[in-house]
């Protein structure tokens, strides 16, 4: 009898462990699919950023290129005073080109959490130094519905020594198209700091994606930043040589 009880206990532990591992793997797989859906192997995009404040608004237009998770380049095309400003990511290095003063700056890690061009996006958000796929552990946290889309609710906690500033993220990803429709950003104390919402679902060059992303801080009334994807193409013909400091200064 004692042997049977021990045997049943072992089987129960193994089954529970197997279910837990399967859930973690499923959550990670969902996050990978959603990330790849929005990123592709490579991409080229035209984006408008609208910074909304209680008493004023500002608009910035830009072009963006990416290759995998290690390479990205953002070029500001308007307004005139910021035209030509560029941001380059090469693996773990982040560079900023300021044509008005003819200067290239290598960004230290301390600058990555700072506001990007006065918006509610950080430098890290724009160049994606950290990765939701590789820098976080993923756990299924239930189901939800966002804008009539049935979604997976996935909690992400940072891995040890990961270069992230958040205590956790909670992401809502649609079950049908793996659309990232909402991400909640919490600090280390578990306080909700800001929310990113995806909407204006469209098919762009054969891929259905949210083409409007709103970053909304929780403690600042009537304030947000909106990214509008005017055009985006995936799996474009681009290689690592494009993402150089020299090209950052002359790309158009």
Average pLDDT of the residues in 49-77: 94
In this structure, of 40-49, 123-132, 147-156, 174-183, the range with the lowest mean pLDDT score is 123-132
124-140 mean pLDDT: 79
The predicted model gives 192-199 an average pLDDT of 96
pLDDT for 67 beyond 80: yes
pLDDT of residue 130: 59
Residue 251 has pLDDT above 90, yes or no: yes
The CATH class of the 34-60+116-232 domain is mainly beta
What confidence tens digit (pLDDT) does each residue in 12-57 have? 433 344 444 445 559 999 999 998 888 888 999 999 999 999 999 9
Q: What is the pLDDT of residues 212-222, one digit of tens each?
A: 999 999 999 99
The whole-number average pLDDT for the span 226-247 is: 95
Name the average pLDDT for the chain: 87
Give tens-digit pLDDT for 93-124: 889 999 999 999 998 877 777 888 889 988 77
Whether 147 and 170 have beta carbons less than 8 Å apart is answered as no
Asked if residue 131 has pLDDT above 70, the reply is: yes
């Amino acid at each position: 009898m004692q042997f049977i009880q021990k045997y049943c206990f072992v089987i129960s532990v193994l089954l529970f462990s197997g279910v837990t591992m399967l859930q973690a793997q499923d959550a990670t797989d969902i996050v990978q699919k959603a990330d790849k859906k929005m990123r592709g192997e490579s991409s080229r995009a035209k984006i408008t950023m609208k910074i909304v404040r209680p008493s004023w608004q500002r608009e910035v237009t830009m072009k963006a290129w990416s290759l995998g998770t290690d390479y990205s380049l953002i070029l500001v095309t308007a307004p005139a005073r910021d035209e030509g400003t560029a941001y380059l990511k090469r693996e773990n290095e982040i560079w900023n080109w300021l044509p008005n003063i003819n200067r290239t700056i290598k960004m230290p890690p301390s600058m990555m959490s700072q506001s990007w061009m006065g918006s509610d996006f950080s430098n890290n958000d724009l160049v994606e130094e950290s990765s939701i796929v590789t820098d976080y552990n993923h756990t299924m946290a239930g189901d939800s519905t966002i804008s009539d889309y049935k979604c997976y609710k996935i909690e992400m906690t940072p891995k040890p020594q990961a270069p992230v500033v958040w205590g956790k993220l909670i992401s809502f990803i649609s079950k049908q198209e793996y659309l990232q429709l909402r991400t909640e950003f919490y600090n280390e104390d578990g306080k909700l700091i800001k929310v990113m919402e995806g909407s204006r679902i469209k098919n762009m060059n054969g891929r259905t994606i949210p083409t409007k992303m709103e970053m909304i801080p929780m403690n600042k009334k009537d304030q947000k930043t909106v990214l509008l994807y005017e055009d985006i193409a995936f799996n474009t013909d681009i290689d690592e040589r494009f993402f150089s400091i020299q090209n950052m200064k002359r790309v158009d």
